[in-house]
Structure 1
Amino acid sequence: MSGQAAEQQVERSTQDGPDIVVRTAGEADVETAAALFRGYLDFYEVDVQDADAPRAFLAERIAKDESLVLLADVPGAGTVGFAQVYRAFSSLTLTTAWILNDLYVAPSGRRTGAGRALLREVLRRARAAGVAGVQLETAYDNTVAQGLYEAEGFVREEFHVYFHDLSGKTSAEG
């Protein structure tokens, strides 16, 4: 993501609803992003023992430019959504790939087009960066998200995803 965390690139999406603004989160946005991140963790029923842990996690990712964090602003509703992307490498294509690890829209922002705007901005930036593809996962029962992803050109792969928990904690699928 080199340098993108410091940029305040903005995309306006009028195609999917109101004049949605998607922007890069910076250090000044950590509290806002963390509130959405907590909503995301609650959605996936992740039990967070330390209430400050989501904020600290995002603050570190942003400060170290380890992820791209995008925020969606909807007129009249405020900042209602966020996405977090990690850079990865694809051995099968010998190129860079991105992992859309987190995408969440608060209940107050649902059905506004904020999720679609975030997803499209991730894809736009990935294309501009020359990325081979964007990968994501979602829960089996999250059919609303699956419908959005498939409508935007994501294809369900035939690979099984495995996870071996080394932390002793239960991990929710994101």
Structure 2
Amino acid sequence: MNNITIKQIDSTELHLVVGLFNQYRIFYGQFSDLGMAKAFLEERLQNRESIIFVAVDGDTQQPVGFTQLYPKYSSVRLSKNWILNDLYVAADYRKQGIGEKLIKTAMDFAQKQGSTFVQLETAVDNFTAQHLYENIGFVKQAADTDFFLYKIALNK
């Protein structure tokens, strides 16, 4: 993990995450479709509906993970907060701290934007992710039959 860099991408760098995004969708039981994956991400970035960070292996220059954030507005707090909607690390790179590094980069970004919190959801049977989120400081807020909702407050 020592040579992993995290960077925010724009639509010109979409090629860095399309394959990872497709693998992420497959992980959650969806069908493989690189064209649809690219079109979906491209629309999010062009419409400024999401922020995407990618983890790149500095030795191979290969993308190895990503996270995507969606804005969530709070009228009461008068703030734009963020939903960490997607997080994926390629199988060969798991258990090396890359997911944590992506999450912390997303949290730093949100804090610099003046956000008061970041929230995310994960499947009730994704124990590895739950352990990671709780170790970072996310607090379980609610659950339904399929997903747990987690939230972390950001210091302003």
TM-score range, shorter chain: 0.7 to 0.9
- Structure 2-normalised TM-score? 0.84
One-letter amino acid of the counterpart of residue 101, structure 2: A
Q: Give runs of aligned pairs for residues 1-174 of structure 1, distance below 5 A.
A: 17-47=1-31, 50-76=33-59, 78-91=62-75, 93-157=77-141, 159-160=142-143
**Per residue, is there more helix in 1 or in 2?**
2
- SS of the residue corresponding to residue 122 of structure 1 reads helix
CA offset digits 1:98-152 (Å, max 9, x no partner): 1001010010221222111100000111111110100100101111111111111
One-letter amino acid of the counterpart of residue 25, structure 1: I
Structure 1 residues 173 and 39, CA gap change in structure 2 (3 angstroms): farther
**1:92 Cα deviation (Å)?**
5.2
One-letter amino acid of the counterpart of residue 67, structure 1: S
- SS of the residue corresponding to residue 47 of structure 1 reads coil
Aligned residues, how many?
147
Distance in 1 separating the partners of 2:45 and 2:147: 23
One-letter amino acid of the counterpart of residue 105, structure 2: E
Distance in 2 separating the partners of 1:75 and 1:131: 30
CA offset digits 1:59-84 (Å, max 9, x no partner): 11112221100000123452100100
Structure 2 unpaired stretches of 5+? 149-156
Distance in 2 separating the partners of 1:25 and 1:134: 20
**Per residue, is there more strand in 1 or in 2?**
2
Q: Percent identity?
A: 37
- SS of the residue corresponding to residue 123 of structure 2 reads coil
- Structure 1-normalised TM-score? 0.76
Distance in 1 separating the partners of 2:147 and 2:41: 18
**1:173 Cα deviation (Å)?**
6.0
Structure 1 unpaired stretches of 5+? 1-16, 163-171
Distance in 2 separating the partners of 1:173 and 1:40: 16
Structure 1 residues 68 and 88, CA gap change in structure 2 (3 angstroms): same
User: Do the aligned partners of 2:18 and 2:34 also contact (CA within 8 Å) in 1?
Assistant: no
Distance in 2 separating the partners of 1:161 and 1:62: 30
User: Do the aligned partners of 2:69 and 2:86 also contact (CA within 8 Å) in 1?
Assistant: yes
**1:51 Cα deviation (Å)?**
4.1
